[in-house]
Amino acid sequence: MKKAEISTEGLFVNFDAGFDSENLRKITASEGIIANICENKRNQKSPSEAEHYFDKKLYKERYAIERSNAWMDSFRSVLNRFDTTVSSWIGFNYLAFIVLGLRKFKQKRKSR
């Protein structure tokens, strides 16, 4: 991100418990990144140590993003990057999201 001259100041990132480490917390803090890390109970030495920032509501939103990424991975053309231009890659992504939306819409109509 530094090479691309993109500022990380104030960037908010969700991490699951597998990324819970003091080293990561220090690195993200030094870069101005707000790290929302789920506490890993196995890494916690004492109950008083759990004074790190954690927003449960925003962390739950992470699942929707992870699920969307998994759905996108089911589209071979998006996953393998067969396209040669940025515009065609964006087009394939839009097409994949349209298909996913239509599938979701169809499921909701069936459940009525």
Q: How far apart (Å, rounded) are the C-alpha atoms in residues 99 and 107?
A: 12
Is 0.75 topped by the overall pTM?
A: no
Is there a single domain that holds both residue 13 and residue 45? yes
Is there a single domain that holds both residue 48 and residue 12? yes
Total structural domains in the chain? 2
Query: Between β-strands 34-37 and 12-15, what pairing exists: parallel, antiparallel or unpaired?
Result: parallel
Is there a single domain that holds both residue 20 and residue 58? yes
pLDDT at 30 > cutoff 90: yes
Q: What is the extent of the structural domain holding 21? A: 1-65
Helices (H), the chain: 22-30, 56-73, 76-80, 86-110
Q: How confident is the model over 5-10, as a mean pLDDT?
A: 88
Q: Is residue 10 part of a domain?
A: yes
CB 15 within 8 A of CB 24: yes
Q: How confident is the model over 76-100, as a mean pLDDT?
A: 80
CB 58 within 8 A of CB 41: no
Residue for token digits 């996913």? 100
Under the banding of pLDDT at 50, 70 and 90, the label for residue 26 is very high
pLDDT at 13 > cutoff 80: yes
Q: Is residue 70 part of a domain?
A: no
Is there a single domain that holds both residue 56 and residue 91? no
